[in-house]
Amino acid sequence: MAKDLLVNYQGKPSYTIYIREDFNDLASCFRRDIDHSYDSICLVTDSNVAPLYLKELLDIFKGLCDNVSSISFSAGEQSKNLDTVQLVYKHLINKKCTRNSLLVALGGGVVGDLTGFTAATYLRGIDFMQIPTTLLSQVDSSIGGKTGVDLDRYKNMVGAFYMPKMVYMNLATLNSLDDYNFACGMGEVVKYGLISDEPFFEWLKVNHNKLNSKSPEALEYSVYESCKNKKYFVEEDPKEKGIRSYLNFGHTLGHAIEKLSDFSLGHGQCVALGMVAASHLSFDLGKIDGKELEDIINLLGLYNLPTRLEIEMNPEDILAASKSDKKMQGSKIKFIILDEIGKADSYMDFSDQDLLKAIKGLLN
């Protein structure tokens, strides 16, 4: 089993996503896509991923370049900041990395976003590639070239659009991922069904047992379908001027909840809650009916995602935090809603009362 997807950027072929079940093909895909040799290659990873996969990857890259190093930082969102970027810059300087060096992001979305940003800015930009190892990074963050870090409590406040040279995902790495982080990624997978792919939504309803038990066929199908959906949005709208914002379905309220929980709730969990609230808003507008709303909430539950906020939070605080999100246009929040299952739209005219009603729906 193997699947490839070529992603275009601004109308031209940019990079290939390789979906595989091991790392055996990595060297040949690399040689196929990269037509020159690098002075040096640096693998960037985190403290959880390093003991699992770094040695195998170092061995592979040593076969591709004479000068290979690695740097690992403490796992977690709290490391996704400019201090860690500086640590990586210093490592690159110590290793005499040049404009002709390559950074390899080996890990989840935190490693991918931070490594991409470091690559975009070190010596005004060097090449990088993604080896995503979480479900969320495989179906979402490794595709589309959004890179960046958090600043204080502001998520992804500093960043750049910067495309990888290639993305290679080994689905077997998901076997070491815990249930919580697997569910986080499933939030984004379900999102694709909701915003752009009704048949996939139906497939997800039928195949939850296979997917939750990480059946290789089910994983490959759902990762491929998710990447295909993400590819569509990032190709149509690479810099998020229009329909790429549909990918933010559930994210405006989700980010607010994530911030107010001091990041104790995972990104995917918060996005799931945001999707429930956004589905309630779609129901209130008469876009989806009660049965569809119930289906959405049930499906999130089947993938072990929360559909109610279990920790105490003030609805007014959630609303205020949503308004500080980057998705504001003037004083209005741009909300992504469902026109129907499998079709998203944006909506700017919710009143604070409408939004508070949907937020309170998460608490009852």
Binding flag, residue 141, ligand NAD (CB under 6 A): yes
| Residue closest to ligand NAD when measured from CB atoms | 109
Cα-Cα end-to-end distance for the chain: 45
Instruction: Rule CB under 6 A: say whether 113 interacts with ligand NAD.
Output: yes
Any contact of residue 181 with ligand NAD (CB under 6 A)? yes
Residues 353 and 11: their CA atoms lie apart, in Å, by 42
As measured in angstroms, the least distance from the Cβ of 64 to ligand NAD is 22
Residue from the set 15, 41, 70, 80 that interacts with ligand NAD by CB under 6 A: 80
Q: How far is the CB of 49 from ligand NAD (least distance, A)?
A: 5
Binds ligand NAD (CB under 6 A): choice among 127, 140, 197, 292: 140
Chosen residue from 173, 248, 252, 282 binding ligand NAD by CB under 6 A: 173
Q: Is 292 assigned a catalytic role?
A: no
| Partners of 41 in the β-ladder | 68, 102
Single residue of 130, 133, 229, 252 touching ligand NAD by CB under 6 A: 133
Instruction: Check binding of 107 to ligand NAD (CB under 6 A).
Output: yes
| Known active-site residue 267 | yes
Among 16, 156, 207, 346, binds ligand NAD (CB under 6 A): 156
Choose the stretch contacting ligand NAD; rule: CB under 6 A; options: 82-90, 140-148, 161-169, 315-323. 140-148
Interface residue with ligand NAD among 14, 48, 70, 84 (CB under 6 A) is 48
Q: Which of 80, 95, 146, 327 is catalytic?
A: 146
- The single residue among 60, 102, 104, 110 that binds ligand NAD, judged by CB under 6 A, is 110
Q: What is the 3-state secondary structure (H, E, C) of the chain?
A: CCEEEEEEECCEEEEEEEEECCCCCHHHHHHHHCCCCCCEEEEEEECCCHHHHHHHHHHHHHCCCCCEEEEEECCCHHHCCHHHHHHHHHHHHHCCCCCCEEEEEEECHHHHHHHHHHHHHHHHCCEEEEEECCHHHHHHHCCCCEEEEEECCEEEEEEEECCCCEEEEEHHHHHHCCHHHHHHHHHHHHHHHHHHCHHHHHHHHHCHHHHHCCCHHHHHHHHHHHHHHHHHHHHHCCCCCCHHHHHHCCHHHHHHHHHHCCCCCCHHHHHHHHHHHHHHHHHHCCCCCHHHHHHHHHHHHHCCCCCCCCCCCCHHHHHHHHHCCCCEECCEECEEEEEECCEEEEECCCCHHHHHHHHHHHHC
**Which residues partner with 8 through β-bridges?**
13
Q: How far is the CB of 161 from ligand NAD (least distance, A)?
A: 10
Q: Does residue 255 carry a catalytic annotation?
A: yes
CA distance 16 to 82: 29
Among 102, 163, 167, 184, binds ligand NAD (CB under 6 A): 184
Q: How far apart are CA 245 and CA 233, in angstroms?
A: 9
By CB under 6 A, is residue 46 in contact with ligand NAD?
yes
Q: Count residues near ligand NAD (CB under 6 A).
A: 30
230 is catalytic: yes
- When the beta carbons of 190 and 288 are compared against ligand NAD, the nearer one is 190
Establish if 327 lies at the interface with ligand NAD (CB under 6 A).
no
Contact between 164 and ligand NAD per CB under 6 A = no
Residues annotated catalytic, as ranges? 124, 146, 188, 230, 240, 244, 248, 251, 255, 267
Binding-site ranges for ligand NAD (CB under 6 A): 46, 48-49, 52, 75-77, 80, 107-111, 113, 133-134, 136-137, 140-141, 144, 146, 155-156, 173, 176-177, 181, 184, 267
